[in-house]
Structure 1
Amino acid sequence: MRAFDYARATEAAEAVGSDARLLAGGTNLLDLMKLEVETPARVLDINRTGLDRIEADGEGLRIGALVSNSACAADARVRADWPLLAQAILAGASPQLRNKATMAGNLCQRTRCQYFMRTDTRCNKREPGSGCDALEGVNRNHAILGASEACIATYPGDMAVALAALDAWVEIDSPSGRRSVALREFHRLPNGIAHRDNVLEPGEIITAITLPAPVRGRQIYRKVRERSSYAFALVSVALVLRMDAGRIAAAQLAFGGLAHKPWTDSRVAEALLGQKPSPALFDKAADLLLSGAQGQGENDFKIPLARRTLAAVLHDATKE
């Protein structure tokens, strides 16, 4: 780890406009600094800025940026009205990491692609314009949707996948004021600019995540991984679904492990609405989801795996 200057903020305003790397739980940043993937000259600790509360927001909920993952998953309101979020958080990392990791930090975590994490390889995300060794390398965990020649890494988180299905928003403070971005639009696809993971501009900070009013129906988070705990998703599905008179009345979906960001496709939900559940319908939904899927060799298995996982989740959500 390289030497850096450390400072501690006591108000969120001190972080807005700062050129320092912000430190909250540190569960991702400190690892990257040890590996010298990130080498900030200045680090600003924001843990004492008061952004650690969960509050009612009309019929919805406002979750402060510094609320820990564990605290969010344990909150009675989250467990009762947005259980999908609690399920996804508890499916990720380990209890020790969830106790330290923050909501905003989780959203901003960087890929765990081995070529990004090693400074002796080519990685456009770490060093723009250098190339992507994953294209011809070990790419079992890599993207099948939304990838490009610049980068085929996947977004590693679980929480953001659930937030995308729940239509959450990200509250951002900047030197020019406050703005809100739909969670579904917060993360970026590579598209030739692989080093930018999200839409945050220099000097901006996340202050909260907001959830809309609870939606009726079943909420399911299904994560398929190499082992039963402490592993990133090969495929994950976040689903909110409501039945009415034997037909699908509402559906909200998001997918993890498939792309550079939590993946959403409105065509999938639209194909389900008003229909009676059936294997043929679930196949149609999977056809739409995977219409642009492309494997890189070692990760070709993700395409049929995503199909089977979606069908299993839809079956569970629609059965009487």
Structure 2
Amino acid sequence: MKLFEYARAEGTDMAVKAAAEPQARYIAGGTNLLDLMKLEVMAPDKLVDINRLDLKSIEETDDGLRIGALVTNSDCAAHPDIRKHYGVLSRAILAGASGQLRNKATTGGNLCQRTRCYYFYDTAMPCNKREPGSGCQAIGGATRLHAILGASDQCIATYPGDMAVAMSALDATVEIEGKEGARRHVPVRDFHRLPGDHPEKDNVLEQGELITAVTLPAPTGGTQIYRKVRDRASYAFAMVSVAADVRMDGGKIDHAALAFGGIAHKPWHDPAIDDLLKGETPSDALFDKAADILLTEAKGQGGNDFKIPLARRTLKAVLREATQTGETA
């Protein structure tokens, strides 16, 4: 591991100022960053420890719920209000990693975790995300984990998380603090980037900007489901995952919000799917149309071709369960 400078921030202003240097990075739980540093995939010159910041509470707001950036995944999943009103978020968090990691991983850090692409982790292989312009060894290589949507000729990696997929379905917002107290709010659906020509940029954060919280809107009162299809029952990344928040009224779908994991460089949300479902009577024909929208531009890479029919089946199963129509398996 490369030598680095260490600074402990006592306040958000101090943290943002200390992390403004080009090769500085924040550290909280460190569940992803430390692994990357050990492998020299990432080699920051400076780590800014933010664990002393007052960002560890979950609070009710006039509009919903505010989750501090340093709330651990375990505490978030177990919080009574999360379990009662945002069950899809609790289930998504519990579907990820292990109990030990969830005890350390934080809300802000989870949003910023990096891809688990084999070639990104192997410094002997070219990777545009790790070293822009070096090439993408994944294209034409082992692609089982890789994207079927939103990829580019520069990168076909996927975003590995579960929490952000549920937050996307819930239409959450990321609260970000920058220099001199400047604050902005970015929808989770817009926080992560597609690779395009700059796969090294995972999200919209600028150097030194700090996630301070995630806010959830008022609950919809709908049925919330998180289904994760993976190679084994625990401690595995999603091949395909679906987060859904669906409310029925009079036999019709009154509200629908769906997000997908394991298939793109970011949690995938297509508003056209939500618009299609709203106001309609549930049926397999309707669910097939939703899947058609999702997969219109889907493209397999050989080893992950199976994700296309798998995404269709998983989406349909979730919608059947959420609307209580037909078989859910």
Give RMSD over aligned pairs: 0.8
Report the alpha carbon displacement of residue 292 of structure 1 after superposing the two structures with TM: 0.4
For 1:71, which of 57, 65, 75 is the aligned residue? 75
Q: The residue matched to 2:247 in structure 1 has which SS?
A: strand
5+ long unaligned stretches in structure 2: none
Read off the aligned partner of 1:95 and give its amino acid letter: G
1:297 aligns with 2:302: yes
Q: The residue matched to 1:145 in structure 2 has which SS?
A: coil
Read off the aligned partner of 2:261 and give its amino acid letter: G
* C-alpha distance after superposition, 1:159-190 (max 9, x if no partner): 00000000000000001500000000000000
Q: The residue matched to 2:16 in structure 1 has which SS?
A: coil
Report the alpha carbon displacement of residue 5 of structure 1 after superposing the two structures with TM: 1.3
TM-score (norm 2): 0.96
Q: For 1:100-119, what aligned pairs fall within 5 Å after superposition?
A: 100-119=104-123
* Structure 1 residue runs of 4 or more that deviate by more than 3 Å after TM superposition: none
Q: Partner residue of 1:4?
A: 4
TM-score (norm 1): 0.99
Q: The residue matched to 2:139 in structure 1 has which SS?
A: helix
1:187 aligns with 2:192: yes
Read off the aligned partner of 1:192 and give its amino acid letter: D
Q: The residue matched to 2:138 in structure 1 has which SS?
A: helix
Q: Partner residue of 2:178?
A: 174
Q: For 1:147-158, what aligned pairs fall within 5 Å after superposition?
A: 147-158=151-162
Stretch moving more, 195-204 or 273-282 = 273-282
1:217 aligns with 2:217: no
1:272 aligns with 2:277: yes
Percent sequence identity over aligned pairs: 64
Report the alpha carbon displacement of residue 59 of structure 1 after superposing the two structures with TM: 3.5
Q: 1:269 & 1:182 partners in 2: Cα distance? A: 17
1:95 aligns with 2:99: yes
* C-alpha distance after superposition, 1:27-81 (max 9, x if no partner): 0000000000001111111101111111111131111000000000010011111
For 2:242, which of 237, 247, 260 is the aligned residue? 237
Read off the aligned partner of 2:172 and give its amino acid letter: A
Report the alpha carbon displacement of residue 3 of structure 1 after superposing the two structures with TM: 1.1
Q: For 1:22-33, what aligned pairs fall within 5 Å after superposition?
A: 22-33=26-37
Contact 2:241/2:261 (<8 A) preserved: yes
Q: Partner residue of 2:142?
A: 138
Report the alpha carbon displacement of residue 94 of structure 1 after superposing the two structures with TM: 0.3
Q: Partner residue of 1:204?
A: 209
For 2:132, which of 128, 132, 135 is the aligned residue? 128
Contact 2:13/2:179 (<8 A) preserved: no
Q: 2:48 & 2:250 partners in 1: Cα distance? A: 55
Contact 1:59/1:214 (<8 A) preserved: no
Q: Partner residue of 2:233?
A: 228
Read off the aligned partner of 2:14 and give its amino acid letter: E
5+ long unaligned stretches in structure 1: none
Report the alpha carbon displacement of residue 15 of structure 1 after superposing the two structures with TM: 1.1
Read off the aligned partner of 1:120 and give its amino acid letter: A
Q: 1:39 & 1:85 partners in 2: Cα distance? A: 32
Q: 2:255 & 2:9 partners in 1: Cα distance? A: 44
Q: The residue matched to 1:223 in structure 2 has which SS?
A: strand
Q: 2:63 & 2:274 partners in 1: Cα distance? A: 24
Report the alpha carbon displacement of residue 268 of structure 1 after superposing the two structures with TM: 0.8
Q: The residue matched to 2:183 in structure 1 has which SS?
A: strand
Contact 2:72/2:106 (<8 A) preserved: yes
Q: The residue matched to 1:211 in structure 2 has which SS?
A: strand
Read off the aligned partner of 2:300 and give its amino acid letter: G
Q: 2:66 & 2:288 partners in 1: Cα distance? A: 37
Read off the aligned partner of 1:265 and give its amino acid letter: D
1:248 aligns with 2:253: yes
Report the alpha carbon displacement of residue 277 of structure 1 after superposing the two structures with TM: 1.1
Q: 1:74 & 1:29 partners in 2: Cα distance? A: 25
Corresponding pairs, count: 320
